[in-house]
């Protein structure tokens, strides 16, 4: 087989392929053996019709067509490998010559991965955020633990207070008419959580068990439903139960109950360490993201529409999967927001294009700097993943190799090393003015 690749446009390559005549003859004979089993020819048992007789009935072109359907894809992929091009979409194939006794010749017009013109990606100047953990940050986490482990006491009497859980029935109306999604039965609402429209929870404070009250609220102008945005509404609310949290005192016994530590101080120290680790992870993430954003902004690449469209489809699928996990559908979301799939995908397009460019820039930096995944690094990552899934590393490797997933692990290693390269070659300025544990 001979193959030649010629770039005819910025992201388009014309692939010219020539396949040996012998290979074509073999493909035609195979096509004959496949077709003869399916065709009934008078005077011959099925599968026993001689080839020259079969050709009279169905035409030689039918054999050639089936032979080419088997031969061309295999030859195309071999040609892609031989020429080193990187297609990003299906090729447009034109058969130039297909005749027994002569080489098969075809052309394939292929959209390929674009060339990236890298700009500055070394010595990029960034400010690294500094996080300081204060005593109140530790106390917030203790309060969260205290609340999450609180006992819920069902009140026999009394009124609803802030932080209580009120079990309510409610019915909302605008202009005297109920609206979709405005009714609930036996709904457990934590007062002060901000789960409902502003002002709703505050007006429940002071209500008693079995009391019914009309609550007046105004939907915000930015509310997701255009039909309700900015409108006044009345909710008829009945309190059916009041549940109050009983908080355990923050002492050594509390620490023993909620953690593996024996003292409150040990628990506080552990919380502080975890907050520091989380803050450092956030700082690392933000630093990497800013460096990569700058490298992407400095690069030039003409992204083929097919790559953007493929990325858009993947993003749309991910959104659909996320909705499904929440028991929703994309159709419900679109109906609620009076939108369409086309509009949603159109809105995704700028982000999709940015994602594709980012991936291409990362790959180009890795290639420019000769960043690769060593066998030791690949094996270490396999052992790490296998350990997490409690599997034997060698068996796990065999599995991912058979599934074709080994390249995914290699790519992740190269990506991580490329990120680290950007950090190691950046001008990092420490910002001591930023103090937060959020």
Cα gap 82→17, rounded to integer Å: 11
Domain annotation for the chain: domains and CATH numbers: 2-111 (3.30.70.1050), 151-246 (3.10.50.40), 257-431 (1.10.3120.10)
CA diameter of the chain: 98
- According to DSSP, the β-strands at 92-97 and 151-154 are unpaired
pLDDT of residue 309: 95
Say what the pTM is. 0.76
pLDDT of residue 438: 47
pLDDT of residue 151: 92
pLDDT of residue 432: 63
pLDDT of residue 433: 59
pLDDT of residue 333: 81
Taking only the tens of pLDDT, the chain with its 438 residues reads 899 999 998 899 999 999 999 999 999 999 999 999 988 888 888 888 899 899 888 989 999 999 999 999 999 999 999 999 999 999 999 999 999 899 999 999 999 999 999 999 999 999 988 888 899 999 999 999 998 899 999 999 999 999 999 999 999 999 999 998 899 999 999 999 998 999 999 999 999 999 999 999 999 988 877 788 899 999 999 999 999 999 999 999 999 999 999 999 999 999 999 999 999 999 999 999 999 999 999 999 999 999 999 999 999 999 999 988 888 888 878 877 778 899 999 999 999 999 999 999 999 999 999 999 999 999 999 999 999 999 999 999 999 999 988 999 999 999 999 999 999 999 999 876 555 444
């Amino acid at each position: 087989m001979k193959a030649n690749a010629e770039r005819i446009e910025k992201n388009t390559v014309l692939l010219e392929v020539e396949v040996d005549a012998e290979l074509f003859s073999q493909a035609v004979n195979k096509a004959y053996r496949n077709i003869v089993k399916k065709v009934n020819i008078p005077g011959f048992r099925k599968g026993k019709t001689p080839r020259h007789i079969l050709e009279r009935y169905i035409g030689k072109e039918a054999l050639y067509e089936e032979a080419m359907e088997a031969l061309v894809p295999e030859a195309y992929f071999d040609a892609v490998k031989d020429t080193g091009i990187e297609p990003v979409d299906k090729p447009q194939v034109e058969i130039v010559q297909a005749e027994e006794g002569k080489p098969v010749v075809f052309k394939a017009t292929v959209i390929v991965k674009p060339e990236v013109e890298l700009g500055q990606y070394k010595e990029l100047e960034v400010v690294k955020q500094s996080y300081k953990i204060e005593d109140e940050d530790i106390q917030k986490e203790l309060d969260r633990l205290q609340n999450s482990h609180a006992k819920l006491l069902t009140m026999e009497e009394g009124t609803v207070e802030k932080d209580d859980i009120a079990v309510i029935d409610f019915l909302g109306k605008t202009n005297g008419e109920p609206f979709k999604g405005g009714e609930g039965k036996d709904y457990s609402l934590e007062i002060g959580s901000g789960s409902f429209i502003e002002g709703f929870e505050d007006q429940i404070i002071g209500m008693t068990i079995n009391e019914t009250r009309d609550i007046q609220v105004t939907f915000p102008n930015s509310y997701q439903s255009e039909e309700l945005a900015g409108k006044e509404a009345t909710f008829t609310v009945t309190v059916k139960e009041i549940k109050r949290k009983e908080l355990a005192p923050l002492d050594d016994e509390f620490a023993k109950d909620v953690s593996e530590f024996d003292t409150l101080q040990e628990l506080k120290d552990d919380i502080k360490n975890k907050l520091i680790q989380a803050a450092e992870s956030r700082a690392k993430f933000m630093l990497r993201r800013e460096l990569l954003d700058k490298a992407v902004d400095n690069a030039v690449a003409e992204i083929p529409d097919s790559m953007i469209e493929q990325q858009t489809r993947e993003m749309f699928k991910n959104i659909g999967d996320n909705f499904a996990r929440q028991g929703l559908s994309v159709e419900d979301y679109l109906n609620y927001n009076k939108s369409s799939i086309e509009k949603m995908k159109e809105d995704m397009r700028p982000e999709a294009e940015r994602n594709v460019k980012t991936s291409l820039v990362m790959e180009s930096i890795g290639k420019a700097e000769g960043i690769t995944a060593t066998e030791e690094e690949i094996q270490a990552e396999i052992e790490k993943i296998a350990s997490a899934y409690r599997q034997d590393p060698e068996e796990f490797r065999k599995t991912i190799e058979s599934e074709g997933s080994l390249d995914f692990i290699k790519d992740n290693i190269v990506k991580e090393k490329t990120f680290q390269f950007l950090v190691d070659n950046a001008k990092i300025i420490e910002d001591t003015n930023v103090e937060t544990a959020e």
